[in-house]
Amino acid sequence: MTAQIPVTVLTGFLGAGKTTLLNRILTENHGRKFAVIINEFGETGIDNDLVTHADEEVFEMNNGCICCTVRGDLIRIIGGLMKRKGLDGILIETTGLADPAPVAQTFYVDADVAARTRLDAILTVADAVNLSTHLDESHEAAEQIAFADIVLLNKTDLVDANALTAVEARLRSINPTARIIRTARCAVDLDQVLGLKAFELERVLEIEPDFLTEDHAHEHDDEVTSISLHSDVPMNPDAFQIWFSKLLREKGQDLLRSKGIIDMAGEDQRYVIQGVHMLMDGNLLGPWPTDKPRQTKLVFIGRNLDSMNLREGFEACKAA
């Protein structure tokens, strides 16, 4: 009998830290070979550039959510991976707006996938700072918690003890059985998140009795959209920082996620920005790949994006 390949689904709301966790897994000295599937909501993929590539093969699925519009692509990619030898596991990073139920269902209702793979765990990364807001505003955030076998309560270094206790209590009210691991920057031992055999179909059927029979394709909040911006002209660092900071300060409530790789004029390294609502983090990522052109890529996901004049503001930041 052919051994089943374990699959770990990394989910969690926009900006919770899924890519940080993925990088932590890939850069640990574990001696295992993974294939990585990354799904992004916008038409432009950013996360693939942020993932540390070792020997892993990375598959991008952009411009659609793995739980609905590009679900067929997931089955086709897994079908190809099942023909590989020497693969120790598959890691799937969903979009921050994914419902994990249809993704999990794939590993039970597709006969070929079910025969060759095994869903090891649904691992949900939760943002300790913004989780309460996300739960209030997005049903996907609650579904990601409800379906989790493991919850990484991340960014615990950014909240005080009382807030942490409150957010953990809310997690427990949604999912009383998931193991909760508190982390900062997703620092966690890999044996706490991989190879667990933690996904239990029986528990899921208690939550959703029609899990195996119902079409779980779901509709997203139509108010949440994305805009992708590109430029082959470097950005003026001062102009960009002023525009981006002002944007987050004034429109951060509607900006669920912003992220990009910026070609700053006069800088030899890639500059990476990560924003969640009004919070922003920026760092130099390292030299530009020699086999790719220097190009700024910026993606916004949120509500009322058309009213923010994002393209005009972006164009005004180009270096003369």
Per residue in 258-273, pLDDT tens?
A: 989 999 999 999 999 9
b or e along 150-165 (b: 16 or more beta carbons within 10 Å of the residue's beta carbon)? bbbbbbbeebeeeebe
* The two structure tokens encoding residue 162: 């009382």
Q: What is the pLDDT of residue 212?
A: 79
User: Is pTM, for the whole model, over 0.85?
Assistant: no
Sign of CA dihedral 30, 158, 280, 147: positive
Residue 69 — very low, low, confident or very high, per pLDDT cuts 50/70/90? low
User: What is the average pLDDT across 105-129?
Assistant: 91
> Is 145:174 a contact under the CB 8 Å cutoff?
yes
Would you give the end-to-end CA distance of the chain in angstroms?
Answer: 64
User: What is the average pLDDT across 49-56?
Assistant: 64
| 47 has a pLDDT exceeding 80 | no
